[in-house]
Structure formats: C-alpha cells, structure tokens
Structure 1
Amino acid sequence: MMISRRHFMAICFSVVAGLWCTPGAFAQARPASPQPEDAGRPTIAEASRATRWDTIQWIERRYKIEAIRFKARDESGFDWPGSDEVMVQTDDAKGWTVSREIGGIDSGDTHNFDPAKSCIVAVRPGTVVLGESSVCEEVGEPAPLGFRVELWEQDSIGFPYGFCLGSVGTPEPGRHVGPYSAVCQDGTGFNDFIGSARIDYPTQELEVGLPHVGDEVIESVTLDPCPDLAACAGYPDYTFTWRVTRLPDVRVDLRAVLDEAMQRSGAGSELEAIATGLRSLRAPSPRKIEPETGNPPPGR
C-alpha cells in the first residue's frame, strides 16, 4: 500500500489518539486497574501485532546540508596582536562534526569549505572531519531538518594536536562523530567561544522552497556571541554560510523505520515507537538568515 508521508503522519496521529485519548483523558488520570469500559478494547501490543506494518510504503523527499564558508567580519579581541585560530563544530540529529584548526583568520577574512567534504546533515556514519572527510549520504535525510553550528578560537601556544585530545570513542551504528570536540569539556584545550546559531527547516518550507530535485538554496547567519547569556565571547562578528540541496526521492518501508525506532528508543511495540516519535516533535525556532547577494532563496 503506497501512501504519502503527510497521509501517513495523519494516520499516526489518528491511531495514537484512538488508542490513548478518551473524553476524560485530560480531566483526570485513568486508574491503573482494568475498568469495565476497557472490556473488548485491544491492548497496545494486540493492536500493534494486528497491523500489517510491512505493507505500508511512501515516497519521501530527501535533502542534504553542506558547509560553504565562514567569514570573520570582526575577529575576536583586538585586531593587531594576532589572528584567530578557528574550529567549527556542527551538531545534527545523528551526531556531530568538527573541523581542523583553521589559523590566520583576521578581520575581513573568509574561509571556504569544500562542500563535497563538509556535510552537516545526512553525514555518512563514522568518524569524520569537517572539510576533509565529512561526506553526505547519497540518500540524504527527510524533512524536517536542523543543525547547530559553533565556532571556537584556540588561544594556547605550542598545542600542536588541535583543540581537544580526549577520545570520543566509536560512534553507534548509523551515527557520526568528530575525532575530538571543539568544546573541550575535558579541559585539554585552551579555547574561547566565538559564537553559535541554531538552524531549523520545517517540512513545509523545504517543500515550497525546493520543489524540484537538484534545487538548492544558500543562506548565511550571523553567529550569536552571547547565546542565552550562558557563554559570552569578546563580541567577535562572524557569519556562517551553508547550502541545502534537494536530492532524489526515496521509497520508504515503514517496517524498516519502525524497527530502527524501536531499537533506538527501547519501545516495546510499533505503536509505542510512533507515540515516542510524536512526543519528541517540537516547533522550529525562527532563524535570522542572510540570503546570498544576487541569489535569493526560492520561496522567500
């Protein structure tokens, strides 16, 4: 049975609502012991077993996001004593990537990444370095998409091995990690926070803005040097630029998706895995993007 992804989401909400929601669901908690009105109502496990999950398929739009460059409009600290030594870290739903130390960055300088080796979302599983070995999977990722980017500046002298020396271990199957962290929580590095940004793309925005396979949009954001007052830098002014590309559509089997979700979440049934996924949905944060000059993104 072939259905659209939007139709499938509607089915998920309907199934979960039908099994868990009653007229008094929000008035009071249901008693733990069986009640007379529960007689004849299927349990979650029974309903899950009765559903032919392996017959449900849909065609899914896929995308990838790659780093393009960053620009130091105003380097950290005073301009004349020296340059910034920058590391870029990105985090997405399946892991994180980091760059090598990028030295000699002064006010007005731009560092360009090789997009083919600078995947941010849809990263091939394993240990990867942004700008060197972070390659996107050919199948991409479905919407919604999102990632976080952080820039850090290394101030130490005689620290030849990058920012952090602590091992991050082997990533879990299907996930990706960098060989070290830009944050240096283990105290092995000497770094200063430059700025960060959170980028989210809702499904509808991607469908409208990238309607055809091969469509792409390039956007930039000014990094916040003092997010939530949690970590404040010396007010450097950096921008980060990335590219979103529409990839060929993929036929998806629900059975495979549910098996992966049950393994990761520890859910005891397919319906429990669906409910867990629905509860994790959150509204995307608005972003302050700066479209490329002369190349406005479609749909904006």
Structure 2
Amino acid sequence: MRAVLFKEFATRVTESPNAVAVACGTEQIGYAALDRASDAVATVLLTEGYGAGSVVGTAMARGVGLIVGILGIWKAGAAMLPIRSRGVDAAGMENRTDADVDLVLDEPLVRAYVALGVRVPLAPVEPGDAAYVRRTYNSDGRSKAVALDHRRIAGRVRVTAEGYRLGAADGLLHLTSGDSHTFFWEVFASLVTGGRFVFDAPRAAQDPVGTIDSVLRHQVTVLRVVPDALRQLVAQPSFGSCTSLRLLFIMGGPVDAELRRRVLAELNVELVCPRG
C-alpha cells in the first residue's frame, strides 16, 4: 500500500472505474466519478491558494460529499480538519476554532466546485506532508492542534484493511456511533482495497431496521458494531436475511455467550471481539 492514500485509490480507479465506491442511502458514486469530482475540488482549492501548508475544514454530514471533499483537499496538498457545524450530523468531530482553518468546505461549496468540472495537473504530495489535523488536550485541559502526515494515516488504514481482510468484493457499513478517527480508517481502508464504503442512517443504534435495510440494499459484508446495537439487530425478525455479512467486528465491550449464540444461530458469520 502506498504511503499517500489517494495514490493507492487511483489504482483502484483504473482497475474498477464503474464499481461503487461510496454509498449513503439511495445516493452512491463510482470510483471514476469520485476521482473526477475530487479532482475538481482540488483544482479550485489550488486556484484559490489552498494548497500545501493550508488547513481546510470539512463541515459536512457523513456522506458522499464529505468523501469528495476530503480527497479533494488531499489532492490539493492541504490538510483537512473535521469540524462540528450546527445542524451537521458529525459525531466525533472537532469543535471549530477559527484559527485552526484557512477555509471551511460545506456541502454547497463542494457541489459548486464539482459543478465547475475543471481538472488541471495537481500538486505533488509526499508521505511526510500533513494530511489530517485533530485536536488533543494537555493535562491542564487546554487543547492544541496536532497534524498527522500521510504516511502515518496510511499505516493505520493498512492495519484496518488487514484486520478486516478487506477486498474488492467487500462492502463495509459504517455506523455513526464510532469516533471520527475510526471513520477515517474505515472509509479509506475500503477505498484503497476497491470495496464499497456504506454510510448508515444517523442514530443507527436506535434504528436497527434501517441498519438491516442498508446491509440488504448494499450487500454489506463487514460491520463494526457495539454489543448493545448488535442486540437490537438480532432482535429483528429480518436479521437472519443479512446473509451477505461475513464479519462482525464487535467494539466497546465483550459479547456474552447468549448474544454470541443468538447471532450464530441466525447467520454463518465470523465474530471478532477484541474484548472477549
């Protein structure tokens, strides 16, 4: 795997240009279309001076537009910072501090950039360049911005892809209960291996029927879920119809023997639970 993720993504574009890359509800985008759209965003960012050394915030709900924006930011050579915006379903994202960002991308702005359709040669991006800015907190409670470079992000994505054994035939469903870091590892683990990344509806833990609908509609094969959400899923009469699932990765706590028995009675699926 290359140390700059969008370069590995470009290989998947060449291999499977028409395959679905990202899906959210009824909206989806293929690899070639995602590549073109993110190139358009990168072109406008570079034209307006937001390239290497810039930090561009993403104030968007999790969906196709967000992935277009992130790839566009990286292709321009800038670093991205996920920020919380009023009215945006952005669980786990950072609170905005104006000093942190040079520009904020929202969905209307991304759509406008994509509509221009302009594509020019993009800036060279190296593994050591900043890719993702996040906020951490000192012992005194004060926050500071920390930049992760492309090499570090690629290493973490590689761990996720290998842990889930992802390939081009896989569809990975992301539940919004996860933190922002896990979100990035999962979405790009899918994109660099040629699979489908699927966003579930907001508050999926309270909507097990919607989650099952996403599994069925997008033929999801891998699902990371917490035990409480898994209990709600198993309680649904349609849970046994989720035969595309091959791996349930359980986070946030152990799975008791009864829950494990109920899952395996319904599906021929691998259960992986790091906490037992």
Higher percent of residues as helix: 2
* TM-score, normalising length: structure 1: 0.24
Greater relative contact order (Cα 8 A, min sep 6): structure 1 or 2? 1
Computing the radius of gyration from Cα coordinates, the structure with the larger value is 1
